[in-house]
Amino acid sequence: MKRLMCLFICFAFLIPQAVYAEGDEAIDGVEAKSCILIEQSTGEVLREMNADDELPIASVTKIMTMLLIMEQVDSGALKLDDMVSVSENAMSYGGSTMFLEAGEQLSVNDMLKGIAVASANDGCVAMSEHIAGSESAFVDMMNKRAKELGMEHTRFVNTNGLDEEGHYSSARDVAIMSRELLKHPKITDYTSIWTDELRGGKFKLANTNKLIRFYTGANGLKTGSTSEALCCLSASAERDGMQLIAVVLGAPTSAKRFSSAKSLLDYGFANYGIKKLAEAGEEIADADVAGGTDSTVKAVTAEEKSLLMKKSDGVEPERRVFVNEDIKAPVKQGDVIGELQFVNGEDIIDKVELKAANDVNKKGIAGIMRGIVLGFLI
């Protein structure tokens, strides 16, 4: 009996075991080659595993395609009601499609629906040709943007993520471009659609991201699966003012990519929260101005500041205001005139520049003389 038990134990050790680690710690519930969890507003990493491994990412590639589209829209170079003509080349793409026909015209709005919801390969090519003239020129734009964002483990070869040699990214880089895409708030109007339709109801859309329907707060972003990439996902969700992004690459099944992403998001929402430290443009102090038409100028925060807090820490940061003491006119709106610090004891947790809320012109001769006279009268 003892011999039998020993053989059983030895045999058990010979069975290949799936090990998913975060540093030296296992990540419960994650079954994938690589993953990362970040908070969107700060970019802070909450969990990661093999996050810099270069892997095929399938249709998660379309996050960069959508990012370039949204940048064009938000800059005014492209309008959502602009019409996009479909080429023979775009029509030829298979896999996930919106069944475009050569010569057909659809709006940018409808193309975005097809790409975000139905993962339309043909829609990506049509949009790339519309924006850059050709898919290859658009791919150059994708790689340039990736470099600008600091995506060090990424190379794009196409716009849609179909398996192709030399096309890869990493969980960390996918999180970077996902975070950048979410800076365009309108994108979630598309990525959070569960079902919709095109062509006057003739073509039905159903989101490939099942978390949109079944996970509270889910609002994006993109699924992907090919024989080489296996099952991938960049999942975003927002609760109580905190937006999380969970990236899962190389999950063995579709169900496991969703359960892995859900496990990461659950961990983030259970353990972290966002505390708003300051609003953008918040009035903090009146700064004295020497020799100006006004004696003071409002010091306002240059940007919004939020703090990612571990719920168990209970940190309540205090504010320290520092305003320059030698401000002399003229002052231009936007000039840096101080700093707002957020501190815990003696530790500076974060800080934000204080800027002048408006111009203050320099006093002319008449103004100076008037001040002298008023001084004597007082």
Between 88-97, 110-119, 324-333, 367-376, the lowest mean confidence (pLDDT) is in: 367-376
pLDDT-derived band at 276 (thresholds 50, 70, 90) equals confident
- Taking residues 120-142, what's their average pLDDT? 97
Domain ranges of the chain: 27-273, 279-377
- Taking residues 265-288, what's their average pLDDT? 95
Query: In the prediction, which pLDDT does 26 show?
Result: 61
Please give the model's pTM, rounded to 2 decimal places.
0.82
Query: In the prediction, which pLDDT does 306 show?
Result: 86
Query: In the prediction, which pLDDT does 22 show?
Result: 43
One of 62, 113, 222, 355 is an active-site residue; which one? 62
Asked if 107 is an active-site residue, the reply is no
- Taking residues 304-327, what's their average pLDDT? 89
CATH topology of domain 27-273: Beta-lactamase (3.40.710)
Highest mean pLDDT: which range of 8-22, 25-39, 122-136: 122-136
CATH topology of domain 279-377: Peptidoglycan synthesis regulatory factor (PBP3), Domain 2 (2.60.410)
In percent, the amount of the chain with pLDDT more than 70 equals 89
- Taking residues 244-254, what's their average pLDDT? 98
Q: What is the 3 state secondary structure string of the chain?
A: CHHHHHHHHHHHHHCCCCCCEECCEECCCCCCCEEEEEECCCCCEEEEECCCCCECCHHHHHHHHHHHHHHHHHHCCCCCCCEEECCHHHHCCCCCCCCCCCCCEEEHHHHHHHHHHHCCHHHHHHHHHHHHCCHHHHHHHHHHHHHHCCCCCCECCCCCCCCCCCCEECHHHHHHHHHHHCCCHHHHHHHCCCEEEEHHHCEEEECCCCHHHHCCCEEEEEEEEECCCEEEEEEEEEECCEEEEEEEEEECCHHHHHHHHHHHHHHHHHHEEEEEEECCCCEEEEEECECECCCEEEEEECCCEEEEEECCCCCCCEEEEEECCCCECCECCCCEEEEEEEEECCEEEEEEEEEECCCECECCHHHHHHHHHHHHHC
Rounded to the nearest integer, the mean pLDDT of the chain is 89
One of 34, 41, 59, 128 is an active-site residue; which one? 59
Q: pLDDT for 164-190, tens place per residue?
A: 999 999 999 999 999 999 999 999 999
Asked if 204 is an active-site residue, the reply is no
Query: In the prediction, which pLDDT does 13 show?
Result: 30
Query: In the prediction, which pLDDT does 1 show?
Result: 32
Q: pLDDT for 6-30, tens place per residue?
A: 333 333 333 233 333 344 356 889 9
Residue of higher predicted confidence among 362 and 181: 181
The reply to whether domains 27-273 and 279-377 share a CATH topology is: no
Asked if 362 is an active-site residue, the reply is no
Query: In the prediction, which pLDDT does 21 show?
Result: 38
Q: pLDDT for 47-76, tens place per residue?
A: 999 999 999 999 999 999 999 999 999 999
pLDDT-derived band at 113 (thresholds 50, 70, 90) equals very high
One of 87, 96, 119, 225 is an active-site residue; which one? 119
Residue of higher predicted confidence among 287 and 2: 287
Position 109 pLDDT exceeds 80: yes
- Taking residues 96-112, what's their average pLDDT? 95
